[in-house]
Amino acid sequence: MLSSLIRKTTLPGFILAAMLFLAPSAASGADYDTYYCSGPNGEQYPLNDWVAPGGGLVGHPSNSCGGANGAFSMSRSQETTFINGDAIAWKLTAPQALSIVGAGGSYTVQGSMVHTAAYADGVSVCANWGHADYPPEGRGSGDLRDFVFACPDSNGYVEDLPVRMFGAPQSSATAGISCAAPGGQTCTGGPVTINVTRYIARFRDVTTPVATLPVQGDLIAGGTISGTRNVQAPMKDTGSGVRTVRIYIDGNNVSEAPGRCTPPYSQAVPCPAEATVGAAVDTRRVTDGMHQLRVVGVDAAGNEGILWDAPTLIDNGGARGPGSDPAIRGDLNGTPALDDNRLTAWWPGTARAPSKNKATRKKCKRAAYRRTHAVACNGRPAGQTLRTSFASTRQSIIRGALLTATGSPVRGATVRLIATSAAAGAQPREIGTATTNDTGRFEARVPRRDGSASITAAWFARTRDTNPVGVQSLRIKVSAQTSFRATTKRIRVGKTVRFGGTLTGKAGVPNGSSIVIQATNRGNNWRTAGTASVGANGRWSFRYRVPRALRGTYRFRAVVQPAPGYPYGKRTSRSRALTVTR
């Protein structure tokens, strides 16, 4: 409707002027809206910042803003001396450092006036949402250029206008009634009243917050920081006021303190001119390393002023390795210490050379024989899984090599050995290190007494890395060992023999493991005779009553069945002969 009612100032009639001016959007400034009388959702606001008209052309101003259905108004009674250029207006003056660059709002019209030579279209009242260069109160001297008019049917008219930007920033705005009759004619009729129920002034703030004292807090204390850190920022803002403080890390907003004021605003300067605002940031939200840390003050318009800006090293002990900031990775580990070096490791004891037996070598010439005797014919390279038995003093050897991607040796590098026991619930632990020689080779020894385990040979490119570059997984499977005793070698039927022994091993607790007693008198046809439990000290005992049906010599043995917490594999003891007689 409004676009179809655009008029020039030569249009006759009585103009209802409701003018809003907001700050221009300069590159260094920002705009914000202030609501007067009512907010965007109908909130009731007082009429802050406005000054009512005075002097001879008072115009009966009234103000009921802040209450239900509130408005601020201007009225003209019936008269014949309201000539072209006369103006009566409320005035809004932008505070220092602010300007008004746009306006909008809602109003209603009561009554009407017409100029003395009415046009054929019968227009009698026009609403203005622009700016004019005339005094807020004057007589016959107004310049009403650049007005945009909405010319409704006067009495009862209601309109809600969005904020419209003006051609230039203004230092003040007015809202009131003006006569725009041409050629010295007067506006007559009335009475007429404009009721402004909502006025939106768009202010522009071209200033930024500045520090009043140095920024304080452990966030900017220097050195390496970690965990949650705090900052206190004393600052002031000569425009819209201090709203909050923000913390940026590498240009990303990671923390913002609660605002000292919150939109929608109801004053031209909604925030305090000076305040000390604190904020906290959890540095664990970013990766460890060197980061650009910035603390900025923010005003009500959203302008940011830099209060502190410096590179900062963050180290929360998180994962680090290839791709991490070198500042937190420590010294180089070896020469050359490259992030694409390669590590291999093996058990040399698992390698097998081809058979040297002449007869076997002759058979290996046949393809069918080679398929079924691959190790004898071709040998076997060293592997990553070693099967061995418990030994209290003996060790198993690990060998390996660390090379660059092009095959060159890496000298003087430390390779770490990390083992996880096969016992249930075991945690990884470092069991040793090895250093590469001039050819990039290294050697380490693992004690068998510790039982079965998964072992990782790992090379870290730098001394503080947590993510290795080169990794080789190995396994050692150590079988359990038990002694096996019998109280006699000969026994009569119906009598009892006691078998016993002790589990050997230095890792874990054997309690819960079991010993299965087996017997046979015909080769490997073993049958279970009973089961014994193993105590916490590794000892076990089993009483066996010889059935009357048995005759002859039998062999007995003990089979270890380890518990989940005992890191040794199943193992069978040596057998013992027992002769049964009548």
Nearest in space to 240 (alpha carbons), one of 295, 305, 175: 305
Give me the CATH code for the 342-347+382-477 domain, please: 2.60.40.3450
**pLDDT, position 86:** 56
378 burial level (CB within 10 Å; 0-12, 13-18, 19+)? middle
Using left for φ > 0, alpha for ψ between -120 and 50, and beta otherwise, residue 97 falls in: left
Judge if 210-314 and 481-581 fold alike in CATH terms: yes
Q: Is 273 exposed, middle or buried (0-12, 13-18, 19+ CB in 10 A)?
A: middle
What pLDDT does 79 receive? 57
Q: What is the DSSP string of 31-93?
A: EEEEEESB-TTS-B----SEE---SS-----EE-TTSTT--EEEEE-S-S-EETT-EEEEEEE
Helix, coil or strand: residue 501: strand
- C-alpha dihedral (179, 184, 190, 192), degrees to nearest 10: 0
CB 444 within 8 A of CB 459: no
Q: How far apart are CA 343 and CA 171, in angstroms?
A: 74
Per-residue three-class SS string for 188-251: EEEEEEEEEEEEEEEEEECCCCEECCCCECHHHCCCEECCEEEEEEEEECCCCCEEEEEEEECC
CA distance 16 to 149: 9
Task: Output the CA–CA distances (angstroms, integers) from residue 281 to 181, 277, 328, in the order listed.
Answer: 63, 14, 20
The pLDDT value recorded for residue 193 is 81
> At 4, is the secondary structure helix, strand, or coil?
helix
Give the pLDDT confidence score for residue 185 in this predicted structure.
61
Sole residue written with tokens 């103006």: 87
The domain spans of the chain are 3-205, 210-314, 342-347+382-477, 481-581
Query: What architecture does CATH give domain 210-314?
Result: Sandwich (2.60)
**Average pLDDT, consecutive stretches of 10 residues, N- to C-terminus, the chain (582 residues):** 27 36 47 96 94 64 90 73 60 91 85 52 37 38 38 66 84 73 62 86 96 94 92 96 97 94 96 96 92 96 96 89 89 96 95 91 91 90 91 89 97 96 90 96 92 94 93 93 92 93 75 87 86 89 90 92 87 92 85
**Angle at CA of residue 459, ends 455 and 461, nearest 5°:** 160
**Residues 386, 476: contact at Cβ < 8 Å?**
yes
Tokens of 529: 């005779």
Q: Which CATH architecture has domain 481-581?
A: Sandwich (2.60)
Helix (H) or strand (E) holding 367: helix 367-372
| Full DSSP string of 244-273 | EEEEEETTEEEEEPPPSS-SSB-SSS-S-S
Cα separation, 475 vs 457, in Å, equals 11
